[in-house]
A and B are shown apart, each in its own frame.
Chain A
Amino acid sequence: DGGITQSPKYLFRKEGQNVTLSCEQNLNHDAMYWYRQDPGQGLRLIYYSQIVNDFQKGDIAEGYSVSREKKESFPLTVTSAQKNPTAFYLCASTPGAGRGTEAFFGQGTRLTVV
């Protein structure tokens, strides 16, 4: 079945460490997105990519980095510069980056700083 796979489901990070969250899709979608979810805050856009080797910052990009070397993969790195990384991270994709395209979501990764 086609879908979006995020791994790991749970991730623990020590202070000062960088960690990378994986997102893979086999839907042949062009656009991919990373959202951060905190209680009561809804989903906030971190980064998105419309095509391979291109990406744009979202509303809360500071302390995060991404790459898009392959169409099916869009990993997110949470760097030590992100001061409050504990959150639920959701990856999504859309068929294109055009108008009215619905987003398909992965199951999320819960990151906790220990």
Chain B
Amino acid sequence: AQSVTQPDIHITVSEGASLELRCNYSYGATPYLFWYVQSPGQGLQLLLKYFSGDTLVQGIKGFEAEFKRSQSSFNLRKPSVHWSDAAEYFCAVGPNQAGTALIFGKGTTLSVSS
């Protein structure tokens, strides 16, 4: 079955420190991978996506993610976290064929300490 796992429910990072949010997926075909961010009470905003090609993808707000097929991972990184990055982050996979929808992980809440 297709699934997405975000092992960390909650992470706290000091402002200016680096960040890595983990995402592992289970998918039967070449995955299409996404990271979204959600501020409290708001919708989801796309940070970045991976379809094919270069396994290191750049996104908005200084985020990047690396696709590692051997590890079934798509971890999100940022070199220096800002207080405004505090939010909930969702990893998603798919769809790989017509008639299916994105599958989301349960999310990681990021807190930023000063």
Contacts and interface: CB of A to CB of B under 8 A. Distances in A.
Interface in B67-114: 90, 92, 95-102, 104-107
Given A40-B9, A42-B104, A56 B43 contact: no
Interface size grouping (class) on chain B: 20 to 34
Contacts of A42: 90, 104-107
A97 B43 contact: no
Interface stretch (A14-22, A79-87, A99-107): A99-107
Given A102-B34, A105-B44, A48 B101 contact: yes
Contacts of B90: 42-43
Contacts of B44: 43, 90, 92, 103, 105
B32 interface: yes
B103 to A, nearest CB: 8
Interface residues on A, range: 20 to 34
B104 A100 contact: no
B42 A99 contact: no
A90 B45 CA distance: 12
A34 to B, nearest CB: 10
A97 B98 contact: yes
Contact of A107 (B9, B43, B92, B101): B43
Interface of A: 4, 6, 33, 35, 40-43, 45, 48, 50, 56, 58, 88, 90, 92, 96-108, 110
Interface of B: 9, 32, 34, 36, 41-46, 49, 51, 90, 92, 95-102, 104-107
27 contacts: A35-B104, A41-B106, A42-B106, A43-B90, A43-B104, A48-B101, A50-B99, A56-B99, A88-B41, A90-B44, A92-B44, A96-B98, A97-B99, A98-B98, A99-B95, A99-B96, A99-B97, A100-B51, A101-B95, A102-B49, A103-B34, A103-B44, A103-B102, A105-B43, A105-B44, A106-B43, A108-B42
